[in-house]
Amino acid sequence: MREETRGHQYDFLNCQHPSGPVPKLPATSPPATVPADSSKPIELEQIKAKTEQQEGPTPTPMPEDKRIGYALVGLGHLTLNQILPAFGACTKSKVVALVSGSPEKMQKVATQYGIKKESCYSYADYDKLRDNQDVQAIYIVLPNGMHAEYTIRGAQAGKHILCEKPMANSVAECQAMIDACKKADRKLMIAYRIQYEPHNKMVREMVQKEQFGKVKSIIANNGQNSDNPKHWRFNKALAGGGSLPDVGLYCLNTIRFVLAEEPTEVMGYVHSTPNDPRFKEVEEQVNWLMKFPSGVQASCATSYGHHDDKSYRVLADTGWIKMDPAFPYTGLKLETSQAQGTENQIIQHNIADKDHFATEMDHFSECLLANKVPFTPGEEGLQDQKIMEAIYQSARDGKPVKLESVTKKDAFRGEEPAA
């Protein structure tokens, strides 16, 4: 094996270089602790001072044949760009089947990810997943208006369901999904990735521990300039609504998660630019207020018509917490401010990113393996849907809408994931 290096010939096999022999270095394994239990991480030797930011434990993937097998339904942007690559970071989940309306696309994806030809299904053949023993869970990544049907049919086919947000188009659909999964004795989780993500989890912890005293206000925004009026996101039957159920939902769901409380009243305003072809059926912009039992007031905005902004700020007695950006897949930033004597101490918390989709899928897999209630079950999606319907109603009626009082904390969530 020869390679030209800056005009010199280097013989890799014999380690000969025109300037003389290259020394051979001994190949060794540095000391490492290797626990017999495969779920415990291998501990490598220390290379950073204890005072430096540490790497965290090495991953502990389950053996391939023990992981939960997923069928992905819908091969659009989210599936191709985020979910499929995320399986590489999963420790308890693997992709084993696909459902799509495009045989060419599906065949290509199956080849890329090593999925068996016989585990690729058209929408017409969806119910045949029942006979595929490799599949324990179905991840529904279809337009919102199709979530209810595919959840119900998937549960009836004997599979557990992870469904993308928003859960569905209406409270009635959400309830039907919960009922169908209960009847089939299958688990249902809504893919609220933010509730499994370390930055937002840290905000929740700071708020719950009252690190900056009592929270008074939260201001949240999630908006983007969307295009292509022909896309299903601008079709009411397929999308359910416009910016509110698609991106505004992040503000609503994250605030509920951070506070662990439920709003008692909402006031909403809806606006769409007249004659904009995108907003013939669904709304462009929603601004809304929420009142919580603890006295926290939240002010939220969402839009399909302004430049990308995804952020929120928690304002408390003695400090503030800022997440900007708060909701993208990577690059989240958490900053806090607190006065220290004559100084205003502003801290940027440098938290390592975790793949949001791998984390949420592994949580669902853990729930199936250990028979636990998912942290974000169907009831969590139903509650968001109830609140969104109240926001629309308030905007239509021009007055605040009261919501059913919920006093229990984390009323609709399952067991909190360990890490």
Does the annotation count 165 as an active-site position? yes
In the block, tokens 């690059």 appear at 331
Residue with smaller CB distance to ligand NAD, 171 or 406: 171
Q: How many CA atoms lie within 13 A of 65 on its CB side?
A: 0
Residue with smaller CB distance to ligand NAD, 78 or 289: 78
Least CB distance to ligand NAD at residue 238 (A) = 6
- Single out the catalytic residue among 250, 304, 312, 392: 250
Does the annotation count 329 as an active-site position? no
Q: 297: closest CA among 217, 220, 221?
A: 217
Least CB distance to ligand NAD at residue 103 (A) = 12
Cα(302)–Cα(223) distance, rounded to whole angstroms? 5
Least CB distance to ligand NAD at residue 154 (A) = 14
Residue with smaller CB distance to ligand NAD, 92 or 165: 165
Output Rg (C-alpha) for the chain, integer angstroms: 25
Partners of 95 in beta bridges: 70
- Single out the catalytic residue among 92, 165, 187, 310: 165
Least CB distance to ligand NAD at residue 222 (A) = 11
Least CB distance to ligand NAD at residue 191 (A) = 5
Helix (H) or strand (E) holding 113: helix 103-113
Q: Which two tokens stand for residue 130?
A: 């029942």
CB-CB neighbours of 272 under 10 Å? 20
Residue with smaller CB distance to ligand NAD, 78 or 315: 78
Are the C-beta atoms of residues 359 and 353 closer than 8 Å to each other?
A: no
Residue with smaller CB distance to ligand NAD, 75 or 161: 75
C-alpha triplet 284, 172, 375: angle, nearest 5°: 85
CB-CB neighbours of 342 under 10 Å? 5
> Taking CB positions, which residue lies at the least distance from ligand NAD?
76
The contact set with ligand NAD (CB under 6 A) reads 74-79, 101, 141-144, 164-165, 191, 193, 232, 238, 246
Q: Which residues participate in catalysis according to the annotation?
A: 165, 250
